[in-house]
């Protein structure tokens, strides 16, 4: 597959095919599971199904990132890459960095009595099932790059603005 088209297929009937507004960098990726809710315990990682599979051109891959709405709730993505050769269902390695469980719920919390809503929101970090959980950014693999092994001394002799400075050494 060498064109510049990404093909998506639904593995689960209710899946949402990723979409991207022309002014956004990422494609929105939604959860898709059969149960009414999914709980991710504190400080743990769960594989959240998406119900989609893809065929990506060989010169590309998709990097998964948090969205502002998930990252701001302490919901982090713990893996990273969908390779062009992968044809299975996408699962999102979702990490809850919080001290209380994350509840991804199909229930529309706007339709829940306020007293019940307060109890649920006190016990859980609620994330709506209908909201994109993460986003994918399409990157070029740069297959045309040549690779060559050289010694560490030779590598150090190649001019660089930063050199081997690390962990804040750029001063930015």
Taken in order of first residue, the domains within the chain and their CATH numbers are: 7-157 (2.70.40.10)
* Closest C-alpha to 134, from 74, 78, 65, 44: 65
Residue 63 to residue 81: CA distance in whole angstroms: 5
pTM for this entry: 0.80
Q: Which two tokens stand for residue 102?
A: 């994350």
Backbone angles phi, psi at 47, to 5 degrees: -90, 110
| pLDDT, one tens digit for every residue, the chain (172 residues) | 557 889 999 999 999 999 888 888 899 999 999 999 999 999 999 999 999 999 999 889 999 999 989 999 999 998 789 998 999 999 999 999 999 999 999 988 777 778 888 888 889 999 999 999 999 999 988 766 677 888 888 988 888 766 666 655 555 5
């Amino acid at each position: 597959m060498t064109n510049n088209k990404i093909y998506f297929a639904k593995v689960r009937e209710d899946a949402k095919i990723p979409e991207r507004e022309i002014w956004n960098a990422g494609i929105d990726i939604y959860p898709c599971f059969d149960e009414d809710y999914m709980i991710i315990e504190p400080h743990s990682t769960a594989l959240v199904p998406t119900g989609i599979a893809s065929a990506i051109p060989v010169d590309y891959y998709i990097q998964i990132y948090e969205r502002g709405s998930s990252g701001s709730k302490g919901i982090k993505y713990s893996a990273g890459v969908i390779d062009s050769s992968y044809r299975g269902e996408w699962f999102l390695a979702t990490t809850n960095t919080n001290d209380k469980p994350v509840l991804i719920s199909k229930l529309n919390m706007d339709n829940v009595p306020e007293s019940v809503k307060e109890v649920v929101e006190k016990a859980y970090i609620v994330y709506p099932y209908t909201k994109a959980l993460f986003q994918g950014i399409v990157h070029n693999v740069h297959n045309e790059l040549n690779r060559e092994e050289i010694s560490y001394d030779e590598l150090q002799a190649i001019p660089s603005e930063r050199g081997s400075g690390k962990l804040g050494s750029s001063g930015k």
